[in-house]
Amino acid sequence: MIFTLIIFILILAILVLAHELGHFWIARRAGVRVDEFGFGFPPRIFKWQGKKTLYSINLIPIGGFVKIHGEQGEGKGDADSFASKGAGRRALILVAGVAMNFVLAMVLLGIGNMIGLPTSLEDANLFGGIVKSQKIQVIEVVKNSPAEEIGLKTGDEIKSLESPSGKKYPANADEVSSFIMKNVEQGILLEVQRGKDILKLSFMPRPNPPEGEGPLGVLLTNTAIVSFSWWKAIYYGIKDTVNLTIFIVSALGKIIYLAFIGQPVGEVLTGPVGIYNITSQAAGMGFIYILNLTALLSINLGLVNVLPFPALDGGRLLFLAVEKIKGSPINQKIENIIHTIGFAILIILMLFITWNDIAKIF
Q: Residue 125: which pLDDT band, with cuts at 50, 70 and 90? A: low
Pairing of strands 197-203, 188-194: antiparallel
DSSP designation for 43: E
pLDDT of the residue at 20: 93
Angle (CA) 26 30 34, round 5°: 70
Burial per residue of 278-314, b for 16 or more beta-carbon CB atoms within 10 angstroms, e otherwise: bbebbbbbeebbbbbbbbbbbbbbbbbbbeebbbbbb
Q: What's the chain's average pLDDT? A: 88
Band (124; pLDDT cuts 50, 70, 90): low
Q: pLDDT, tens digit, for every residue of 9-51?
A: 889 889 988 999 999 999 999 999 999 999 888 889 999 999 8
% of the chain surpassing 90 pLDDT = 49
Do 179 and 150 share a structural domain? yes
What pLDDT digit, counting tens, does each position of 71-96 carry? 888 888 899 999 999 999 999 999 99
Confidence of residue 265 (pLDDT cuts 50, 70, 90): low
With 0-12 / 13-18 / 19 or more C-beta atoms within 10 angstroms meaning exposed / middle / buried, residue 224 is buried
DSSP label at residue 156: -
At 126, is the pLDDT very low, low, confident or very high (cuts 50, 70, 90)?
A: low
Q: What share of the chain is helix, strand, coil (3-state, %, to 5)?
A: 50, 20, 25
Of 157, 191, 226, the residue that ends a domain is 226
106 in the same domain as 48: yes
323-356 pLDDT per residue, tens? 888 888 888 888 889 999 998 998 888 888 778 7
Domain count of the fold of the chain:
2
- The answer to whether residue 238 is domain-embedded is no
- Note whether 84 and 37 are same-domain residues: yes
Q: Is the pLDDT of residue 303 over 60?
A: yes
Distance CA 208, CA 80 (A): 71
pLDDT over threshold 90, residue 158: yes
- 104 and 6 assigned to the same domain: yes
Do the domain assignments include residue 135?
Answer: yes
pLDDT at 157 over 70: yes
Which CATH number covers residue 168? 2.30.42.10
Q: What is the per-residue pLDDT for 268?
A: 66
Q: 39-78 in b/e burial notation, b at 16+ Cβ within 10 A? A: bbeeeeeeeeeeeebeebebeebebbbbebbbbebebeee
DSSP 171: S
DSSP 330: P
Q: How much is the average pLDDT of 45-73?
A: 88
Q: Please state, in angstroms and as integers, the Cα–Cα distance from residue 283 to each residue in 15, 78, 141, 215, following that order.
A: 17, 48, 20, 31
What's the domain range around 325? Answer: 2-114+279-361
